[in-house]
Every structure is written in structure tokens, then in C-alpha cells.
Structure 1
Amino acid sequence: MAFYKKFQSKLNDLWYPKAITIGTPIATDKVADKLSLLSTVTRGDTYAVLKNLGGVMADYMAMGRTVKIEGVGTFYYTTATNKKGVATSAEVNSAQINGIRVRFIPEVKRSSSKQITTRSMVDVDVDWTDIEKLANGGNSSGGNPDGGNDGDQGENPLG
């Protein structure tokens, strides 16, 4: 189950759902535990590989390469500049760079007609739940003014 909350855009005063996360992030050891259950690799071996993955990826990206992890996606660097552009290409230099960002493109699989058929890490059947309704036991202030619903509102999401 994924969660969203309602938020009002300051640009146009319209309301939108915004994806949110709950709780603390899942730690490396939990990921290692689950991966070891899905494979023939021990928890310790999986943990060791995961702990070293970031450094290995950083080494390759620092060499100007992208890193593609099958089933996950592609990681690459982009630069943040100091907003001081120059008049000619000859004047461009690395001193204008004041930050590095890591960008990520999730892996996609395409059909023969180039249509996206699957995206890694995105379950096609994500069940979105309004976090306010969950917190209020199913009663949300600021409901749909049209009187519609977003699913079975009579069901208690906590069981």
C-alpha cells in the first residue's frame, strides 16, 4: 500500500495528491535479509555487496560513465552550476560547477511497438491510500466535493 496526502499548489491554488512515505527508511540489513531469501546468497554476502555498491557506482560515475543495474535502472551525474554563465564556449570551465547530483532513470521494458510494458520498482497495481483517512480511522476532512469516492470507504485500512 502506498500513501498520498492532499496538497495545494501555490502556483495555481489547485489541490493534488502527493506521494509520501511513512516510518523510517528500510535499512540495508533488511534489504539484505529479503534478497537472501529470494536467492541462494547468504544474508552476510548480500549485505557486503550492498554496502559496497554505492562506492563502486561512485567510482564508475566519477569516470564519466553511467551505471545501469538490471532490474533497477540507470544512474548518472549531472552538474549544478553557480548561475554565472559566460558569453562564449571557450570561457566555460569546471570552476562554474558548484555541485553534483545523482540522477536516476528507472528501468523500463518496451514491447515491439515501443510501448512501455513494465517499469522496474513500479508495481502496476499500486494501492494508493489517503494518509488522512488512515490517520482519522477512515474519516477525512476535505473530502471530494463531488461526492465521489476513491474506493471502498467502508473498509477499515487497519484491519
Structure 2
Amino acid sequence: MPLFYKSVQSAVKSKDGTKKWHPKLVKVGKAVSTQKLSHLIAEKSSLTPGDVYNVIYNLMSVVHDQLMESHSVKLEGLGTFTVIATSRGNGADTADEVNPSQINNLRVRFTPVYSRTCGEGIIKPMFHDVKFERWGSKWNKKPASR
């Protein structure tokens, strides 16, 4: 199945004074729930959907715990999760003055797994052989207006 895209015009003018058009990926339907993932994985394994749900639920708990202990978490074939902190506008004059009250946001950064090859450079297996299709073509329908 392809990734769908639509054309979106930039709100900012380019160097030549025109507003350029760019592709933007279209999300189809709602986000896939943990329950739905459990059923999809169970279809590919000998586990029941309940067993898979239990594993996913516990995976989320363990990943959270490991991230909160300052570890990165790498899931082979998927990627690495790392907690990052931002402290915009809260800089200190010296290294000794730096403290946790300067942190105003924590986020989890996800970095997809990748490999390097001599001839092709960086290859991200998750995105290898991706097919794209314009949203609204004869094979798919446009989303309902919001």
C-alpha cells in the first residue's frame, strides 16, 4: 500500500517571491489503536490478541521505566527512543548554575533504524521501497471536509 500525499502551498514566499507547492502526507482514518495492533499481530503469530495486548501494554510500561532511568531504548528493526529536554530562553551564565528548573519540556525522540552502504549511503529499512500516490486519484477518495 502506498503513502498518500496531497499538494500544499507554503504560507511563506520563497526567495523568488512566490509561494511554492510541496507534498504533504495524508493520514488515512484514525490512528491504529493498541487493541487493533494486538489483533493484527495475533493474526501473524500463534498468540491470542489478549496475549499480544498484554505484551504491548507491558512493553510500554518497561520502555517508560527505562527512559525515566536515562536510558535510550532500541527496538531492533524499528528504531531508538530517547528522552530529550528543552530549556529555551532559560540559559545560565555558568555551568555550575545549571539546574533542572531550567527544563521546560521533555519529549521522546524516535530515530528509525538505518544502515550505511558503500554505494547507496544511508538506508532506512523502514522506508525502503516506499511507493507514493497522490490523494484523490482514481484509486482512492478524498477525505471528507472538516
TM-score, structure 2 as length reference = 0.81
Specify which of 106, 110, 124 is matched with residue 112 of structure 2.
106
Distance 1:71 1:23 in 2: 26
Q: Quick check: 1:41 aligned with 2:23? A: no
Residue 72 of structure 1 corresponds to 78
**AA at the equivalent of 2:139:** P
Distance 1:15 1:128 in 2: 17
**Equivalent runs, 1:74-93 vs 2, <5 Å:** 74-93=80-99
**How far is the alpha carbon of 1:110 from its aligned partner?**
3.5
**AA at the equivalent of 2:11:** K
Give the root-mean-square deviation of aligned CA atoms. 2.2
- The structure with higher relative contact order (CA 8 Å, sep 6+) is 2
Structure 2 unaligned residues grouped into runs of 5+: 142-146
**How far is the alpha carbon of 1:41 from its aligned partner?**
2.1
Q: Quick check: 1:7 aligned with 2:11? A: no
**Relative to structure 2, which stretch is displaced further, 7-16 or 24-33?**
7-16
Q: Quick check: 1:59 aligned with 2:60? A: no
Residue 134 of structure 2 corresponds to 130
**How far is the alpha carbon of 1:108 from its aligned partner?**
1.6
Tell me the matched-pair count.
Answer: 135
TM-score, structure 1 as length reference = 0.75
Residue 147 of structure 1 corresponds to none
**AA at the equivalent of 1:32:** S
- The CA deviation string for residues 7-49 of structure 1, in whole angstroms up to 9 with x for no partner, is 1223322111011202111111221112112222222111111
Tell me the secondary structure at the aligned position of residue 40 of structure 1: coil
Identity among equivalent pairs (%): 33
Distance 1:129 1:50 in 2: 31
Equivalent residues of 2:112, 2:124 under 8 A apart: no
